[in-house]
Amino acid sequence: MSETDVDLEARLAEQDSFEPPESFVEQANVSDPEIYDEFENNWPECWEAAADLLEWTDDYDQVLDDSNPPFYQWFTDGELNASANCLDRHLEERADEAAIEWVGEPVDEDNRTYTYGELHREVNEFAAALRDLGVEEDDVVTLYMPMIPELPVAMLACARIGAPHSVVFAGFSADALATRMNAADSEYLVTCDGYYRRGDPLDHFDKATTGLDGVEHAVDTVVVERLPSEDAFPNTWPEQTRGYDELVENHAGETVEPVDRDAEDMLFLMYTSGTTGQPKGVKHTTGGYLSWAAWTSQAVLDIKPDDTYFCSADIGWITGHSYIVYGPLALGTTTMMYEGTPDYPDRNRLWEIIEEYEANQLYTAPTAIRAFMKWGEEYPDSHDLSSLRLLGTVGEPINPRAWKWYYKHIGDESCPVVDTWWQTETGGMMLTTLPGVGEMKPGSAGPPLPGLSADVVDMSGSPVGAGEAGYLVVNKPWPGMLRTLYNNDDRFINEYWREYSNVDSDDSADWVYFPEDGAKLDEDGYITVLGRVDDVLNVSGHRLGTMEIESAIVGVEGVAEAAVVGGDHDIKGEAVYTYVITEDGYEETEELREAIIEGVEDAIGPIARPEAVIFTPELPKTRSGKIMRRLLENIANAEDLGDTSTLRNPEVVEDIQRKVQSD
Ligand code: WTA
């Protein structure tokens, strides 16, 4: 431990709350604590504040229609277009200001600035091209691209013509792409030839075409050529494949009138992991989602048009959708995106970017902060980060030590830190302090945002009170909420509402949203989120379903049964631990272990790569035959095993424990 670390520990360790810095409050978008009462007393009309941040082509009639819960409708009969809101309306004042600053992998020095004028132009051209390919309003277009500018261009082009997009994270496997395209009946794919990762070109198109082999219907494909010819792969394009550049050139200078969309029309679909093996297609709408992304960007991230705002997430996840693309662009600011990783070419990458572009906000994940902390403060300390005004985190619980390190070494104790709890399903932030208003408590996300109502309850739905752990619930609808799971209203009700609602009631007050997280409330109403209570792991802030991983493993030849649990991990938060029973006649070999790891990577992607594969003759099961995951988790984390008396086969536990310890 270095000396500064010791000082920091001594000075900050005892401190468990922090006031927002005065210099920040003075200029904050929101600084009046009255906002909480005002919104509560004027609910749901308070959400006009969010709608007012957008430009509507037709005014809405009602803020909220809650007559058919949980199928809530917001800003009913209003019309707007998301691409017009993110582009056209800023042109008068900001045509020459940067909309996107893109920092490519430092391989070919390919950084690009898109002004609002340029972005508007390219979005129009690509929208014209998509139309020409046959894309019509409400057709789902799948976007399978890494962090290249053509991804937000394609998103906005889709929005312009009223075609919902479904972005599939580029790190996902071919199988994952196919599953999502089939589930969404998506007949269009925009992808790229390849991209750089740690200096090396990756063949992305090969993965995309393998995925397409698994799609049950015909697909028109567009390929962005990201790699310069010397690094390009010798792929031959199948029929119905077109080059992005050629398409855009063919439509040079064309404009496409933004389509008027109903507030409740789908803006996009995003697949996320749930309890069962089948990913959930979360449906977000044009009016509610966009207003939520814009309002939270303004109130929580304190974004102003003149800012240069940096969120280090990937657009393939919801954080990138809401807080790299839609929120910041709706507010007319400069949003940054970077390709690559924070430690290539070295551990200075992010700090160099912040220094060079004079970024005003940094929004990142606890897993990244823990890695920065481990690498040491000498990297950030050797850069001028004084442009930063606000720091944010999202994706998983942040431990107080990491929070304080972030506050001190990145924020120089002069930036508020917003710890924002939310989910793919919520569209945007839900629990967090308002940076210009609320006291910050490291480790605790904070109260619900104004106009929201959340609580911590026990299994029967009664509030647990301060200090007790229970389940997080959201008691009132909000504009950014998911509207349903695509083509599956039943699953929507079962997953999120059935637990704590009276599902036979038409009264909105009887409906309670359950995010499937555990939480704790303190005496000030601050909520500490403890993590998922369903079979979902949070690996480096990414949601992975244990069932998805298990079904990939049992698909490997030689595997009879598998159980997947989360094990503690210093950097990733959680890591994938798998317990595997081999089929009769198969040995517990290194080859099989490799095949299992490969099987998981093929089915999902490298993010789901198992940290440990533990062979075992049996899995601990209850008398009714359910796998005791809690026990497997305790074993993975070398914790006390607690009560094993309900097991049918208690002897197997010691056996597994011995194996894990010897691995
Ligand atoms: C977890 C990411 C604690 C939580 C935006 C949630 C958090 C899941 C926090 C959603 C936070 C997210 N503190 N836990 N600040 N933010 N989570 O859908 O378990 O990828 O349910 O959305 O991440 O993950 P998702």
Q: Which residues make beta-bridge pairs with 282?
A: 270, 485
- CA-angle at 594, arms to 591 and 596, nearest 5°: 110
User: What is the length of the chain?
Assistant: 663
Compute φ and ψ for 305, nearest 5 degrees.
-55, -35
Q: What is the distance between the alpha carbons of residues 296 and 283, in angstroms, rounded to a whole number? A: 19
Can the peptide bond before residue 44 be classed as cis, meaning omega within 30 degrees of 0? yes
pLDDT at 495 over 90: yes
Check: CB of residue 87 under 8 Å from CB of residue 104: no
Distance from residue 324's CA to the centre of ligand 1 (Å): 17
pLDDT of residue 3: 52
Q: pLDDT tens, 526-567?
A: 999 998 888 899 999 899 999 889 989 999 999 988 999 999
Q: Would strands 334-338 and 390-394 be described as parallel, antiparallel, or unpaired?
A: unpaired
Burial of 3 (0-12, 13-18, 19+ CB in 10 A): exposed
Whether the per-residue pLDDT at 238 is higher than 90: the answer is no
Least confident of 220-224, 335-339, 466-470: 466-470
Distance of alpha carbon 448 from alpha carbon 474, whole angstroms: 9
Q: What is the reported pLDDT for 463? A: 96
Q: What pLDDT was estimated at residue 430?
A: 98
The minimum-distance atom of ligand 1 relative to the CA of 420 is: 15
Average confidence (pLDDT) over 581-592: 93
Structure-token pair, residue 233? 């792969």
**Angstrom distance (rounded) from CA 297 to CA 420:** 11
> Are 235 and 193 in contact, with CB atoms under 8 Å apart?
yes
Provide the pLDDT for residue 638. Answer: 81
CB distance 588 to 582 below 8 Å? yes
Strands 241-243 and 220-224: parallel
Shortest-distance Cα residue to atom 3 of ligand 1: 397
**Phi and psi for 12 in degrees, rounded to 5?**
-95, -20
Q: Is the pLDDT of residue 275 over 80?
A: no
Q: Which H or E run includes 662?
A: helix 651-662
Q: How far apart are CA 637 and CA 660, in angstroms?
A: 10
Give the mean pLDDT of the chain.
94
Transcribe 414-439 into DSSP letters.
-S-EEEEB--GGGSS--B---TTTSP
- The token pair at 277 is 């093996």
Closest ligand 1 atom to the C-alpha of 425?
18
How far does Cα 164 stand from its chain's mean position? 18
Strands (E), 312-369: 334-338, 361-364
Ligand 1 pocket test, pick from 271, 321, 517, 534 with the greatest ligand atom count within 8 Å of Cβ, gives 517
User: What's the 517 CA to ligand 1 centre distance in angstroms?
Assistant: 9
Whole-number Å distance, alpha carbon 422 to ligand 1 midpoint, is 5
For the CA of 393, the closest atom of ligand 1 is 15
List the residue whose alpha carbon is closest to atom 8 of ligand 1: 423
Which residue has 């007949």 as its token pair? 187
- For residues 251 and 132, what is the distance between their CA atoms, to the nearest angstrom? 9
* Ligand 1 atom with least separation from CA of 542: 20
| pLDDT score at 10 | 77
Distance 472 CA to ligand 1 centre (A): 12
Secondary structure (3-state) at 410: helix
Q: How far apart are CA 514 and CA 498, in angstroms?
A: 8
Q: Whose CA is nearest to atom 5 of ligand 1?
A: 423
| The pLDDT of residue 2 | 54
Report the separation in Å between the CA atom of 260 and the middle of ligand 1, taken as the mean of its atom positions.
Answer: 33
Considering the entire predicted model, what is its pTM? Answer: 0.94
Indicate which residue's Cα is closest to atom 11 of ligand 1: 421
Which ligand 1 atom sits nearest the alpha carbon of residue 432? Answer: 15
Q: What angle do CA 511, 516, 520 make, to 5 degrees?
A: 95
Pocket residues for ligand 1 (CB within 6 Å)?
A: 272, 317-319, 394-397, 419-424, 445, 515, 517, 529, 531-532, 538, 543
Kindly give the number of the ligand 1 atom that is closest to the alpha carbon of 515.
Answer: 21
| Higher per-residue pLDDT: 284 or 649 | 284
Q: What is the distance between the alpha carbons of residues 220 and 491, in angstroms, rounded to a whole number?
A: 30
Q: Considering only CA atoms, which of 211, 153, 208 is closest in space to residue 178?
A: 211
Given this model, what pLDDT does residue 69 score? 98
CB 174 within 8 A of CB 208: yes
Query: Quick one: what percent of the chain has pLDDT higher than 90?
Result: 84
Q: Name the nearest CA neighbour of 31 among 299, 219, 254, 231.
A: 299
Name which of 203-217, 475-489, 500-514, 627-641 the model is least confident about.
Answer: 627-641
Q: Could you read off the pLDDT of 128-159 as tens digits, one per residue?
A: 999 999 999 999 999 999 999 999 999 999 99
Mean pLDDT of the 194-220 span: 95
- pLDDT exceeds cutoff 90 at 293: yes
Does residue 628 or residue 617 have the better pLDDT? 617
Closest atom of ligand 1 to 536 CA is: 19
Of 492, 496, 544, give the one whose Cα is nearest residue 516.
496
Span from the CA of 396 to the centroid of ligand 1 (angstroms): 5
Q: What is the pLDDT of residue 552?
A: 92
Confidence of residue 8 (pLDDT cuts 50, 70, 90): low
Sequential DSSP letters for 92-161: HHHTTSEEEEEE--TTTT--EEEEHHHHHHHHHHHHHHHHHHT--TT--EEEE--S-THHHHHHHHHHHH
| Of the candidates 386, 331, 391, the residue with the CA atom closest to the CA atom of residue 362 | 391
Q: What's the whole-number mean pLDDT along residues 475-493?
A: 97
Alpha-helical segments (H) within 447-510: 489-496
- Higher pLDDT: 628 or 263? It is 263
Name the pLDDT band for 268 (thresholds 50, 70, 90): very high
Find how far residue 294's CA is from the centre of its chain. Answer: 16
Which protein residue's CA is at the shortest distance from atom 24 of ligand 1? 423
How many Å lie between the centroid of ligand 1 and the Cα of residue 538? 8
Q: Residue 652: its pLDDT value, please?
A: 82
Closest ligand 1 atom to Cα of 319: 5
| pLDDT computed for residue 387 by the predictor | 98
